[in-house]
Each structure stands twice: as C-alpha cells, then as structure tokens.
Structure 1
C-alpha cells in the first residue's frame, strides 16, 4: 500500500520519551509504532533472547515438577515436599523476572 499522506505531530518531551520507549521495545520505527497504535490500539513488545532463555528455564522446571509429581504418587508427598518447595520458589523467581522485564 502506497503511503502518500504526511502528518505533523507535536509532542511534549514526556510524550516523545514514551514514543521512543515504545519504539525501542517493539524494535520498530516511529512511523510503524504510530501506525500500530492507530490500527490495533497497542504496540506489542518483541520477545528478547533473555525472555526466551527464561521461558526455556520454565519449561525445564515444569519437567522437573512432573518428575516430582510422579515421585509423590509413588512414594508419598512427604518424600518430595522439600523438592516441591524449592521448585515453587524457582518458578516464582522466573515468572517475576519475566514480569519485571515487561
């Protein structure tokens, strides 16, 4: 689609700062970011390599959690309760890291 129309937009320093932050987080130009806001009402941040690393760690923790559940079914919950507590802390920390970045 050809883009022939040009608009002039005046922003305060704070608004320009917000636009710059949205552009950096979404890795898009100012024009693309504004178009996205007009069409969708939102600008989504792209997933970074660090986020992918954290997601992979969560996948590993969920595998460990499944193994603990199998052991709990076999040997009883008391036998794996300590492992479950440490696993819950690890998962909570990973989720908090993802939330803090967003």
Structure 2
C-alpha cells in the first residue's frame, strides 16, 4: 500500500469520541466565547484546557463545618479571657487560657 499523505491516524486515547452538552446562560456563553477567542482557541479546546488546568475544591464536610464553628466559639472565649486578663490581672486568666489553648490545639489537629 502506498502512502497517500495526510494526517497520521490518532491513537484510541487521542480520539475525541465523547460529546458533552452543557447548558449556559447567555452571559456565560459569551464569556466563554470571548475568552476562547482571546486565547486563540475554539470554545471546545478552551473548555478542555480549563478541565485539565483547573481544580475544584470539595465542599467542607458537616464534621469540618462543626469543627470550624467550635473554633469560632473558642475565639470568642479567648477574647473574653483577654478582657478579663486586662481587667483583673493576668494571673487570674492564665489557667482558663491554657485550658482553651489545649482544646484549640486538639481541634486543629483533627482538622
């Protein structure tokens, strides 16, 4: 068989055989179109690049949300201890501070 020229065949992993339909608002569509044009790519190639080059962080689990709320409460407690220390003297607030600091360390280690 003689070589007729043309583009070499793509391997199975290089072929683009899947199609994904995406619904967008008008604003999103024109943003995509504009960014792809500025990048000198087709909309499809731009979206493929976005998929490869970006990352999405997972949502916080309910357990992590609970721990963050606990940290916020502990921060409020620290502020109260600081006010007490300023008003009554530092020696009275020291034990409360040490106890709360230990709890915060434990919670941060869990996160």
TM (norm. structure 1) is: 0.58
Match of residue 63, structure 2, among 33, 50, 54: 50
Write the distance in 1 (CA, Å) between the matches of 2:62 and 2:91.
Answer: 38
Superposition pairs of residues 61-100 of structure 1, within 5 angstroms: 61-98=74-111
Task: Choose between structure 1 and 2 for higher RCO, CA contacts under 8 A separated by at least 6 residues.
Answer: 1
Is residue 39 of structure 1 aligned with residue 16 of structure 2? no
- Give the gaps of 5 or more residues in structure 1: 7-34
Superposition pairs of residues 17-28 of structure 1, within 5 angstroms: none
> Post-superposition shift, 1:39?
2.9
Write the distance in 2 (CA, Å) between the matches of 1:63 and 1:72.
Answer: 14
| Ranges of 4+ aligned residues in structure 1 off by more than 2 Å | none
- Give the gaps of 5 or more residues in structure 2: 1-15, 19-48
More helix by share: 1
Contact 1:37 1:43 in 2 (8 A): no
Residue 90 of structure 1: SS of its match in structure 2? helix
Question: Which protein shows a greater Rg?
Answer: 2
Query: Alpha carbon RMSD of aligned pairs, Å?
Result: 2.6
Deviations 1:23-61 (A, max 9, x none): xxxxxxxxxxxx876131x34222010000000000110
